[in-house]
Structure 1
Amino acid sequence: MGSTVNQSPGKAEIAAPESRFKGLMKQLIRNKSSLFGGIILIFFLLIALSTVLSQWIPGWNFSLMTHSPTSTDVLNRFAPPSADHWFGTDQNGRDIYSRIIFGTHLTIWIGTSAVLIGAVFGIFFGLLAGYYGKIWDTIIMRAADILLAFPGILLALAIVSALGASMNNVIIALSIYNIPVFARIVRGSVLEVKNIEYVEAIRALGARDGKIIFQHILPNVSSPIIVQASLQIATTILSAAGLSFLGVGVQPPLPEWGAMLNDGRSYMWDNPHLTIFPGIAIVLLVLAFNMLGDGLRDALDPRSKK
């Protein structure tokens, strides 16, 4: 009897994280919009993975590209969609379908990298401002207010103009804009959590601030961070495409979707396929992240359900 009693709590503790994850997945699957967004996102992630593997692994033949994304064919310029060129060709005779496929991993990499970097610094500053308050709160939040006073695309444009046009500088610029976004969210969540009874009890037992912050407060404010990250990736992808469209983002010959829109805008009236297909790709990927983010918000934040 004694051994049975001792084993059952252990089993419950082991099964608890798995059941919570299963519960989250069930809620996301029940939500039709998040399910649709997740399916689209998985589709794009598989495309990106196949492209990356084809570059890293010699002899990897599973690639969805039908032509080289950078090879030109001046005799086949502005070809309409056909069996050979599914999305047609651009002004240099390059296959648009293959360029969109190749550009998928570039777009996802820029969006996720910029949000991840911004989230790491934003979470750190938000925890610092929310937990310690006083002068730390004043300095960090006023700096965040200054950065947020500028529209995201204009702030990123100014930073990229100063650093130079390249993919890495686009990631740096968008990361800087994402920092205050996460800092404000984390700071507000920490203010709600830090004075709860269990945190006060842990502090009374002599726990160090680092242990309280990272082991007890941060896990309890992770839900809004996850939701904001999924939504912020969509905004970051749009901003990156906007910078490339303006000519200060990813530079040729890399086929980034925003740059493809910029290349095709001069010919869009006579050859609309140059802009239609990259535009559809951007819309679908942004829509997928937004739908998934809405589903995560409903599943992780009960207060959002009215």
Structure 2
Amino acid sequence: MGSTVNQSPEREEFAKPESRFKSLLKRMIRNKSSLIGACILIFFLLIAAFAPFLMTHDPNSTDVLNDFQGPSSENWFGTDHNGRDIFSRIIYGTHLTLYVGTVSVAVGAVFGIVLGLLAGYYGRILDSIIMRVADVLLAFPGILLALAIVSALGPSLNNVIIALAIYNIPVFARITRGSVLEVKDVEYIQAVRALGAKDAKILFQHLLPNVSSPIIVQASLQVATSILSAAGLSFLGLGVQPPTPEWGAMLNSGRSYMWDNPHLTLFPGIALVLVVLGFNMLGDGLRDALDPRSKK
């Protein structure tokens, strides 16, 4: 009498593949540069978000009897030539600095990406026109081009954003065009085109996601450049106008007294360096994390 053995097919378990975002996040955490940069930026984002609760004084309140005071328990970073609390002015100016940098890059990226997609996909005359205009704009150093635009429009926060956005347009257009030229003739794009997909769908649903990596990296690096340019314009008196606390304007107002009272320029300068350093380190980490050649 034989016994029958019921053999059930073995169930093979496969690990669920990680999402692209989760994989990118893990790679960035392992990258010390991007981790430090992200921590610096999160620190300043929190300062900008909770600025009203962190300020110890009114940033525009003057007290001429307490001007040029050094760092103390009452005024952590000292006071300027008008007796205003430097710590509170730096805290207040954080959101201005981040706002100008991110908005100018975002506006420039939107127009630049669209122009780059059109130039790379259609080519020929349209490509020549867009790229020649971009070459003309890129022939000028960024700060000089922004200086010329702000001089024509007038000194103000919005005009600084417009000037920096105009400079950022050809940067993103050139990067996007180069990436599109590399992938527009690959098999899956040809297949989508053969199925009758419209150009708009090919551009924004198929090409753009596949060329986004260098754009993201450039955006993080470009924010640092825009912040420096905005501070430079304010330092020259063409950016945010007094008494609004902005780091570049604070450097300008304190440079006449920096030898006798170095705290007037020291603390705004350190804040500016840290923010730019944070964006640059984050950009370097993103470049390593998004580079397919570095994946194991």
**TM-score band (shorter)?**
over 0.9
The structure in which a higher percent of residues are helix is 1
What are the residue-to-residue correspondences of 1:1-306 with 2, within 5 Å? 19-51=19-51, 54=52, 63-303=53-293
Q: Distance in 2 between matches of 1:170 and 1:208?
A: 38
1:138-186, Cα deviation, whole Å (9 max, x unpaired): 0000000000000000000000000000000000000000000000000
TM-score for both structures, normalised by structure 2: 0.93
TM-score for both structures, normalised by structure 1: 0.90
Q: Distance in 1 between matches of 2:229 and 2:40?
A: 20
Q: Distance in 2 between matches of 1:24 and 1:207?
A: 30
Bigger-Rg structure (1/2): 2
Q: Distance in 1 between matches of 2:294 and 2:78?
A: 45
Give the CA deviation at 1:27: 1.0
Aligned to 1:60: none
Q: Distance in 2 between matches of 1:279 and 1:159?
A: 25
Matched residue of 1:79: which SS? coil
Give the CA deviation at 1:304: 6.8
1:233 counterpart letter in structure 2: V
Aligned to 1:3: none
Give the CA deviation at 1:22: 1.6
Give the CA deviation at 1:242: 0.3
1:2-53, Cα deviation, whole Å (9 max, x unpaired): xxxxxx99x96xxx6x6321211111111111111110100000011113xx
Q: Distance in 1 between matches of 2:136 and 2:108?
A: 16
1:196-236, Cα deviation, whole Å (9 max, x unpaired): 00000111111111111111000001111110000000000
Q: Distance in 2 between matches of 1:232 and 1:302?
A: 22
Structure 1 contact 297–304 (Cα < 8 Å) conserved? no
Unaligned runs of 5+ in 2: 1-12
Q: Distance in 2 between matches of 1:228 and 1:303?
A: 18
Aligned to 1:57: none
Unaligned runs of 5+ in 1: 1-7, 55-62
Q: Distance in 2 between matches of 1:217 and 1:40?
A: 33
